[in-house]
Structure 1
Amino acid sequence: MVNYLHSLRRRRRKRLAHQHTQHAGDQRVAVIGLGRFGNSLANELMHRGWDVLGLDTDARLVQKYSDGLTHTAVADCTDPEVLRQLGVHEFTSAVVAIGSDVEASILVSSNLLEAEVPNIWAKAVSRQHGQILERLGVHHVVLPEHEMGERVAHLVTGRMLDFIEFDDDYALVKTVAPDIITSVPLGRSQVRSRYGITVVGIKRPGEDFTYATAETVVQKGDVIVVTGKTHAVETFAELS
């Protein structure tokens, strides 16, 4: 942690010397909790060019992942003073990836909100945990195990190739085009009025995905991406 604080001070002095350049915090994120979810997320963010600060109370985890992340530190983020010393209040994004200790997750999230971090994500281990985080004011709450289980259930029980559900009962599905919409332009197939879905993309064998338009003619064997209310896209996918 001491080494990180020294490097943090150096970066602060450097930023002050370049006030007219883009703020370094635009691409910085603190990931608090380096379990399987937190480490996987931190590494993906690193691959996308983000400056990642990985934090955990477990020194063994911090040591294990220190070579792969931009910065790491052993830190108890339930203490708001620790977050302040690490400069997390200056970050534009933070992720609370703590899963095994609900109380710690809530305390850390509360500290981040108190520090006015603009964009806070938090992992929830249950719906009740998620509701508490939402009531605190956490901007984004995710239930990775539940969401993955629900997604796989749709793929196992239906004819979908992929399924993503958003808020407000809205979903996006990849599926093989049913015969009832092939060989005619999408505008004439009336899929929106008949089935309550919109075809937004199409992929032919050996070709890349392209945007679908009213003039697009879907052929047998094409893979399409459709959006709409969850029940509508589920029903449509079963027509394949």
Structure 2
Amino acid sequence: MKKQFAIIGLGRFGQSVCRELYHLGHEVLAIDKNEKKIEDASSYATHTLLADGTDEAALKQIGIRNFEHVIVAIAEDIQASILCTLHLKDMNVPKVWVKAQNSYHHKVLEKIGADRIFHPEHDMGNRIAQFLTSQKVIDYIDLSADYSIVEVITTSKVEGKSLIELDIRARFGCTILAIKQNGKVNITPNPNDELHKGDILIMIGSKQDLRRFQDEAL
């Protein structure tokens, strides 16, 4: 379903989000106070606008409150990010998602009502660390300080074994959400389903349990 997004701030993060949303077929308004960035964004945004995201009058004039999703991507200037977010929440924008620069910035954004807060550098650092420390991890999503969703590739240690034989939940406290086999995704694994080398398991659990499963079972 096609949605409308406004992105305020066209640094690397803002540009990346804008491009992806646009290529996914959504309507995207790109806003920045830098004329060169606005010119460049014309190739990957539905509409562009030269404006200051901290200017409340300008935000009202462009009808920002009509957008269900607004992404504030001006984290390098913490004061501007906070002021822009405050204006958007005062205008009752339904979903205001903001990039945070650090933990202090995050706390302030929480207090003024940001609906979702991103730490892309921190999140990417976690993912890279996972890849570097385990050759079995294909992808990784941090859910909290303690829990994650991971995609892990199986080894010959599980060849021909069924899920009920491995008893993963009881032994390791992890849950298999889906299994990728031969390019197909099984989102309702059966206890009798057998695993083979090269299968990809999509799993959820505590980081400690997931690590223990990788070390002991794979």
**Structure-2-length-normalised TM-score:** 0.91
User: Residues 181 and 191 of structure 1 are in contact (CA less than 8 Å); yes or no, is this contact kept in structure 2?
Assistant: no
Measure how far apart 1:85 and its partner are.
0.4
| Aligned partner (choices 26, 31, 37) of residue 61 of structure 1 | 37
Pair 1:137-2:113 in alignment: yes
Residue 188 of structure 1: aligned partner: 165
SS of alignment partner, residue 209 of structure 1: strand
Q: Distance in 2 between matches of 1:234 and 1:122?
A: 31
Q: Which amino acid aligns with 2:178?
A: G
Moved more, 126-135 or 109-118: 126-135
Q: Identify unmatched segments of 5+ residues in structure 1.
A: 1-21
Structure 1 residues 86-105: aligned runs within 5 Å = 86-105=62-81
| Structure 1 contact 33–55 (Cα < 8 Å) conserved | yes
Report matched runs for 1:69-148 at 5 Å. 69-148=45-124
Q: How does 1:1-240 map to 2 (within 5 A)?
A: 27-159=3-135, 160-167=137-144, 169-177=146-154, 181-204=158-181, 206-211=182-187, 212-239=189-216, 240=218
Distance 2:183 2:88 in 1: 46
Contact 2:154 2:197 in 1 (8 A): yes
Identify which range, 130-139 or 105-114, moves more after superposition: 130-139
Superposition RMSD on alpha carbons, in Å?
A: 1.8
TM-score of the aligned structures, taking structure 1 as reference length: 0.83
Runs of 4+ off more than 3 Å: 178-182
Task: Provide structure 2 residue ranges, at least 5 long, that are not aligned to the other structure.
Answer: none
Deviations 1:149-172 (A, max 9, x none): 111001101231221111362211
Q: Give the whole-Å Cα distance in 2 for the aligned partners of 1:228 and 1:181.
A: 19
* Between 103-112 and 43-52, the greater mean CA deviation after superposition: 43-52
Q: Is the 8 A contact 1:31 1:97 kept in 2?
A: yes
Task: Give the structure with higher Rg (CA).
Answer: 1
CA positional deviation for 1:134: 1.2
Q: How many Å apart are 1:238 and its aligned residue?
A: 2.3
1:107-139 alpha-carbon deviations (Å, 9 max, x no partner): 000011001111111001112211211121101
